[in-house]
Amino acid sequence: MKINIGKLTIGGDYIPIQSMIKNPVTEVDKTIQKIERLANIGCDIIRITVPDETAVSGLREVLKNVTIPVVADIHFDYKLAIMAIEAGVHKVRINPGNIGGEEKVKKVIDCLKEHNIPVRIGINGGSLPKHLKEKYVDNVKTMLEAAKEEVGYFDKYGYDKIVLSFKSSNVLETIEINTLAKKEFGFPLHIGVTEAGDKIDGTVKNSIGVGHLLLNNIGDTIRVSLTAPEEDEVLVGKKILESVGRRSPELEIISCPTCGRTEVNIENLVSQVKQATNFVKLKQRIKIAIMGCVVNGPGEASSANFGVACGKDKSIIFKDGKNLKNVNNTQILDELLNILKEYY
């Protein structure tokens, strides 16, 4: 099943990357600038918290000035969902179980129908309905039953533009519940490991959880939740998609882990090349190899379009598997960037 959100489709071959604004939307200019910056590095969909009516006013201004679809994140107050829909959001994220009962859910559904936008029903392992937690000991079973109950409202009132998400801070639970949900429901799945931690912990947990699911053809859009800037969420999401073959990088940089043979600061060189190639548009996909010695390059980096094997004072620049020239180590960055220009 495919769901349209703005000009994007969730449920097709393309896996959109999502992130969530971490500042209040009432900081309108900051929010607009941040969204455009995120869009420029590959964010496809952005979610914004709408906790009160003041936030709706900020949201309305943001919507006039952004180029990617916006999702309103709503909890507890169905009226805020309706106000956000009327303000022009492209999708709302709600938990039908916490916005006040069936009658209020129906009012949200009626508004969704009127404006013809989708809903994301979020099932979070840390905030499940009390009556189901008392009935089922197993957290995964509880999440599945909560989804059935909440999707039931939408079935009853005839609305199926639904994206489902099942999230846990536990990687194995996240994998298990989404695997079951893929079999149980026909709706697109938004996947991610929630409350995953800082950049290191969160990257590892999401890489395993999201990566495993994608490799098993489960998941239609992703968000990498990190206690880190939004840019990190987007960049890690891109790398996960590239690593599982769901996106091809325009520019891929491979580098060795370094060892006692290394005479050049490879970490710094990789960082410099990355910074210099931000937002570069290329006429073909290319791979650059940055290797700490002749053991790792050019032989082990023969798949790269070009790169460097660093030495003590001089280093070897290679291209298409063949040595091109020897250069002083102070010239490595300039030489790599000069070769890159051939691909602009």
Structural domains in the chain? 3-243 (3.20.20.20), 251-343 (3.30.413.10)
Q: pLDDT of the chain along its 344 residues, tens only?
A: 899 999 999 999 999 999 999 999 999 999 999 999 999 999 999 999 999 999 999 999 999 999 999 999 998 899 999 999 999 999 999 987 787 788 999 999 999 999 999 999 999 877 777 888 788 888 899 999 999 988 999 999 999 999 999 999 999 999 999 999 999 999 999 999 999 999 999 999 999 999 999 999 999 999 999 999 999 999 999 999 999 999 888 889 999 999 998 999 999 999 999 988 877 778 888 999 999 988 777 777 888 999 999 999 999 999 988 899 999 999 999 999 999 998 88
- Residue 130: its pLDDT value, please? 81
pLDDT at 239: 95
pLDDT for res 147: 92
Residue pair 310/292 in contact by the 8 Å Cβ criterion: yes
pLDDT for residue 136: 84
| Cis peptide leading into residue 51 (ω within 30°) | no
Number of separate helices (H) and strands (E) present in the chain = 11, 15
Instruction: Check residue 338 and give its pLDDT.
Output: 93
146 vs 140: CA distance, rounded Å: 10
Q: What's the pLDDT score for residue 100?
A: 74
Quickly count: other Cβ atoms within 10 Å of residue 7's Cβ.
9
In this structure, are residues 228 and 199 in contact, taking their beta carbons and an 8 Å threshold?
yes
Which sign does the torsion angle of CA 103, 104, 107, 111 carry?
Answer: negative
Peptide bond just before 16 cis, omega within 30 deg = no
Run of H or E including 153: helix 139-156
